[in-house]
Chain A
């Protein structure tokens, strides 16, 4: 069978996309982060000065802090809730299809819609807190969304509500792949179910957990829409996140250089996560 060039030609769009859309833009952004670009790209090279300004910027540091707090809470909550939901659904419950539909539908909604609904729910005076007060707890007040220190937690609630269903779906698929004879053997050994899940099944699910962790972590880094819809980064800049900082500085505050530096910094944790993941995958593929 003779060699043909057609596959290469067919893959041209992919090649152009990767080269220009991904690698090219990333390199360009990297370049701009080292220039004094403002509204438009400039070619005045200023080394790492933008990075310095970045880390002197209070708003940026706050956004990093918020992202760290948010990230930790989001990932842990999604993992725990998603895993528990999957385990409980896996117990031969009736109405499994309905339950799965209920837990997963939030994922079909956009981040914007999610943010807006939860903004309404957590509105002090109109939302949940007024309903609770009407039930009798006169002093109950849920004003996190307008509280500088608590605003970021409202974003956690909204996004965990949206993403837990996805974690549940992935974990459930993983659970279903466990050899059912393991369960029989465990039953013979009289091992209580919770121990089977914790000491046998969960370690077996490590690849699924790793995938879920990767997906969740990248979602954390990309957090933008939900914040814009829910709090607009507020009150003030209390719930600022890096992605929003970058977007604001690119398009509103006309500081492309600074924003690019921020984008590069945001890239670092992503690469830090991808590298071991890719390494582990290639080792497993070679094995």
Chain B
């Protein structure tokens, strides 16, 4: 028991964070570690295989495909299948390639993202701050509706659209995406606004601001992170949609997914696998790019949606 006036240690840089490492390093794991990496690499291969095959097949000529195995790298890589997929394949009546589908998908996706986000934000805002009576019950039914198969609602919606005279047009498909996108969008924004302190809202009300002013001036500017997440989820969902586009968009507005299926599964004659694969990649390009570019936001969106949902 002694006093240490100088301290035992020499002068020192500041200690790292107080907590010891969260997961204790264990020395017993050396052999098991190899097993872990082995499992993960095998799994990664399984997951990457289709992507690899898609890309590789789309760069080969038909002779090469018939000649070599499905996993072989292209000997004479060519972009001809891509060109064909984009501008000349037959999608039903026309043989204009998938570019019309691409254009249609964009035309569908943009409003089908903006509108549900806007309305979802207003809904989430009203639900979490204003809490009108019966609103929670309404929200509960909306959420339940998200789990119900679309087939239960699809025919009546067709009739309603037909009655309104908009069936088979761009407004119809956008409206349908609004209906089916509302649960998820509302959930995202509601959960987000629930994590905003109520005091902020109350202070604004004491200052005399009303419903729309608080929303537009205070809440919306704060909502950028969740808007990004919502946009990612909605763009992916709408772009990848098949069934709603098939039924509601009408022949001139068929999205890329529908056209893709037409190209591959309804062509007669020889199947051009390389063109098919190129077409598949083209269709998947937008959401995949979004995914690879957004990284953690994508995961955040899943967690945000699924945790409370």
Contacts and interface: CB of A to CB of B under 8 A. Distances in A.
Given a CB threshold of 8 Å, the question of whether A touches B is answered with: yes
Interface of A: 1, 4, 6-8, 10-11, 13-15, 17-18, 20-26, 28-29, 32, 41, 81, 84-85, 88-89, 91-93, 97, 99-106, 108-114, 116-121, 126-128, 130-131, 134, 161, 165-166, 169-170, 173, 180, 183-184, 187, 193, 211-212, 214-215, 218, 221-222, 224-225, 228-229, 232, 243, 246-247, 250-251, 256, 259-260, 262-264, 266-267, 270, 273-274, 278
Q: Which of B138, B140, B148, B299 has the most C-beta atoms of chain A within 10 angstroms of its own C-beta?
A: B148
Q: Which of A128, A187, A263 has the most C-beta atoms of chain B within 10 angstroms of its own C-beta?
A: A263
A22 B132 contact: no
B147 A112 contact: no
17 contacts: A10-B126, A10-B212, A13-B182, A23-B141, A25-B156, A25-B160, A101-B292, A108-B298, A110-B287, A112-B261, A117-B277, A161-B47, A211-B307, A228-B261, A228-B265, A247-B151, A262-B151
Q: Which of B127, B144, B182 has the most C-beta atoms of chain A within 10 angstroms of its own C-beta?
A: B144
Interface stretch (B10-18, B83-91, B221-229, B237-245): B237-245
Interface string B256-284: 01001100110000000100110010011
A104 B26 contact: no
Q: Which of B48, B70, B152 has the most C-beta atoms of chain A within 10 angstroms of its own C-beta?
A: B152
B130 A7 contact: yes
B50 A161 contact: yes
Contacts of A224: 151, 242-243
Interface size class of B (residues with CB under 8 A): 35 or more
A130 B309 CA distance: 44
B303 interface: yes
B240 A93 contact: no
A117 B155 contact: no
A169 B303 contact: yes
A120 B271 CA distance: 11
Given A116-B260, A180-B23, A229-B261, A170 B153 contact: no
Contacts of B112: none
A97 B154 CA distance: 40
Interface string B34-48: 001101100110111
A64 B291 CA distance: 34
Contact of A184 (B24, B57, B132, B152): B24
Q: Is the interface of A mostly helix, strand, loop or mixed?
A: helix
A120 B140 contact: no
A29 B151 CA distance: 9
Given A100-B299, A113-B283, A105 B51 contact: yes
Nearest to B130: A7
B288 A105 contact: yes
A4 B265 contact: no
